[in-house]
């Protein structure tokens, strides 16, 4: 039996209950009755102690029987401030009556743990639910979960757990949908996260974490996965990117990327020049790829590297920061040589000019036409590891095959300048005539070259060309496209056969005169 007390207690419809009356429950019908045995359909309780905060208005207790003074449960209604009220529900546990739930005057609802501390809180004004919070104003989120750290290494780990009730199966597990309003409807999923089982094997809890987004066709698609081995998979659900597009990062640091029909990786440095990609070995920088003045460079961390020039017509040496690096790097090294070099253009060594002899700089230039220009301080050394070598061989092309044109050879301390004269490469062979007349037309003279003081004997090339054309190379007064002189040259060896022929003709005339 419980007793209701207060300044005034009355039935809403009739004054059947007065102060000091008791309200009992008929054990058979369950109908509340006043002490007079009359049924009560409604009870209103007033407390005229206005302005008294937290003063009790109604206290309903449930007892085991009339002799038990320790209530099993209690519902208490009391004031909260001047015009507010609150409702408190308590239950008996371990012989201690403990508050379990409270409805505040603001509409907030709190649930208490065994020690009567707030463990579950509904903030009505903020529309926020808090688990483990200790303050009515905690956070501003729709859901707040606050608790001491709980490791995820155990089966029942974590501060918040979401499980599915499905039977054990692959790709089944807890998930969270993230979304909002769509076409005027709240509750549409824009993205999501899920922890799913990686296999269907009993006793094997291997799982993966998956992230999803919804595309423009309103299909929710997996975008990223962390599998049970720790691999991070982006754009794929397979660690094999050799045949499928995607990006994989393994827990050992290896990265694999593959793209279908387009560039795989794009790296962009903004605003300033410098490194775009840096390489390290055991924490020490060993090289980089970067940009300088619009040019890309590849360099080690200490000495230098190479870079293509901006217009792409050449690859040149650079410092390790991409600056020009002239005459400081070698291609190959002693014992670490390149095998063959194939060029479609010119090979310029030293002078860097198409004709170092004309520009008066030392160097060797081999042009794509096959021409060789060379200039050196001192002399050229052409050696051989054989006793009688041919140092340089000359060839011509007769239109169908290569034909030997001569060579420079040596034997011991003697050097020979040889012209090809094998009968097997000659035809229309007839005795020479008129050699003496040709010799008589030659005009040997003495002269010195401009800029030199030494006087010598010889011929003027254009005069010899009129008599023995094949002994002279070039044309009189010829110039190139830029107006530079193209000087004639003479091969005196071509005069030897004529001289021999002239001597033979002269000998014949002498012998004829002697015979007379």
Mean pLDDT by 10 residues, the chain (516 residues): 38 37 49 49 48 55 60 82 84 83 89 80 83 62 81 73 89 93 84 95 93 94 96 93 91 93 93 93 94 89 86 83 88 90 82 65 80 77 81 86 87 88 90 93 95 94 95 94 93 93 93 90
In the chain, DSSP finds a helix count (H) and a strand count (E) of 4, 35
- Domain co-membership, 437 together with 425: no
What's the confidence (pLDDT) of residue 3? Answer: 40
The beta strands (E) that lie in 215-339 are given as 220-226, 232-234, 246-249, 255-258, 274-281, 284-292, 295-300, 305-308, 315-318
Give CA separation, 351 vs 109, 331, 343, in Å: 92, 17, 18
Spatial CB neighbours of 313, under 8 Å, sequence gap ≥ 6: none
Same domain, 397 and 461: no
Q: Does one domain contain both 358 and 371?
A: yes
pTM: 0.60
Position 516 in a domain: yes
**Residue at token pair 């008589």:** 440
Domain count, the chain: 4
Q: Residue 464: helix, strand or coil by DSSP?
A: helix
CA nearest 191: which of 209, 175, 214, 210?
214
Instruction: Determine the pLDDT at residue 365.
Output: 82
Beta bridge partners of 219: none
Specify if 34 maps to a domain: no
The reply to whether 219 falls in a domain is no
Domain membership flag for residue 329? no
382, two tokens: 């052409």
C-beta separation of 77 from 43 below 8 A: no
Tokens of residue 89, six digits? 């529900």
347 domain-assigned? yes
In a domain, 294, yes or no: yes
- 349 and 311, same structural domain? no
Quick one: 414 and 453 in the same domain?
no
CATH number, domain containing residue 495? 1.10.10.10
Residue pair 277/267 in contact by the 8 Å Cβ criterion: yes
Q: Is residue 144 part of a domain?
A: no
Q: Are residues 364 and 440 in the same domain?
A: no
Please indicate, yes or no, whether residues 465 and 405 belong to a single structural domain of this protein: no
| 216 inside domain | no
Domain limits at 500?
A: 433-516
Supply the pLDDT for residue 394: 87
- Residues 414, 347, single domain; the answer is no
DSSP-assigned letters across all residues of 66-120: TT--S-SEEEEEEEETTTEEEEEEEEEETTEEEEEEEE-TTS-EEEE-TTS-EEE
- Domain boundary residue among 390, 411, 429? 429
Residue 112's pLDDT is 86
Residue 516 and residue 437 share a domain: yes
Residues 363 and 313 in one domain: no
pLDDT of residue 215: 94
Residue 488 and residue 516 in one domain: yes
Three-state secondary structure string covering 241-259: CCCCCEEEECCCCCEEEEC
Q: Are residues 479 and 501 in the same domain?
A: yes
């Amino acid at each position: 039996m419980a007793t209701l007390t207060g300044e005034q207690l009355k039935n809403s419809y009739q004054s059947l209950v007065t102060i000091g009356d008791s309200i009992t429950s008929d054990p058979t019908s369950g109908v509340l009755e006043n002490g007079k045995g009359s049924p009560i359909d409604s009870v209103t309780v007033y407390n005229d102690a206005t302005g008294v905060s937290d003063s009790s208005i109604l206290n309903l207790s449930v007892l085991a029987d009339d002799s038990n003074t320790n209530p099993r449960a209690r519902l208490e209604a009391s004031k909260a401030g001047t015009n507010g009220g609150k409702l408190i529900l308590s239950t008996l546990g371990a012989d201690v009556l403990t508050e379990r739930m409270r409805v505040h005057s603001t509409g907030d609802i709190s649930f208490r743990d065994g020690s009567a501390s707030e463990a579950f809180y509904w903030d009505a004004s903020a529309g926020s639910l808090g688990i483990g919070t200790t303050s009515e104003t905690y956070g501003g989120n729709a859901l707040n979960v606050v608790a001491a750290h709980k490791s995820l290494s155990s089966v029942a780990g974590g501060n918040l757990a979401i499980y599915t009730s499905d039977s054990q199966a692959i790709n089944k597990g807890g998930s969270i949908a993230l979304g909002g309003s769509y076409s005027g409807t709240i509750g549409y999923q824009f993205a999501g996260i899920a922890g799913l089982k990686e296999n269907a094997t009993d006793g094997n809890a291997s799982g993966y974490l998956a992230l999803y987004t919804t595309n423009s066709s309103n299909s929710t698609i997996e975008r990223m996965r962390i599998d049970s081995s720790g691999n991070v998979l982006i754009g794929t659900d397979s660690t094999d990117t050799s045949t499928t597009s995607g990006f994989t990062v393994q827990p050992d640091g290896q990265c694999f990327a593959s793209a279908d029909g387009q560039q795989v990786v794009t790296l962009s440095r903004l605003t300033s020049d410098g490194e775009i990609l840096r390489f390290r070995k055991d924490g020490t920088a060993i090289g980089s790829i970067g940009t300088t003045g619009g040019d890309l460079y590849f360099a080690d961390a200490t000495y230098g590297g190479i870079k293509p020039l901006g217009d792409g017509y050449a690859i040149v040496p650079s410092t390790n920061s991409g600056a020009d690096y002239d005459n400081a790097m070698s291609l190959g090294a002693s014992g670490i040589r390149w095998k063959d070099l194939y060029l479609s253009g010119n090979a310029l060594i030293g002078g860097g000019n198409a004709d170092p002899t004309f520009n008066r700089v030392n160097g060797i230039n081999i042009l794509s036409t096959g021409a060789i220009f060379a200039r050196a301080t001192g002399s050229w050394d052409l050696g051989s590891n054989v006793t009688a070598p041919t140092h340089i061989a000359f060839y011509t092309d007769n239109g169908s095959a290569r034909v030997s044109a001569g060579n420079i050879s040596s034997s011991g301390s003697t050097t020979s300048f040889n012209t090809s004269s094998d009968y097997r490469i000659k035809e229309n062979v007839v005795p020479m005539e008129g050699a003496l007349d040709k010799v008589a037309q030659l005009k040997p003279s003495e002269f010195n070259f401009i800029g030199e003081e030494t006087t010598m004997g010889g011929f003027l090339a254009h005069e010899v060309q009129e008599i023995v054309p094949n002994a002279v190379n070039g044309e009189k007064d010829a110039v190139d496209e830029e107006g530079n002189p193209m000087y004639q040259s003479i091969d005196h060896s071509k005069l030897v056969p004529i001289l021999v022929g002239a001597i033979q003709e002269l000998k014949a005339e002498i012998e004829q005169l002697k015979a007379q």
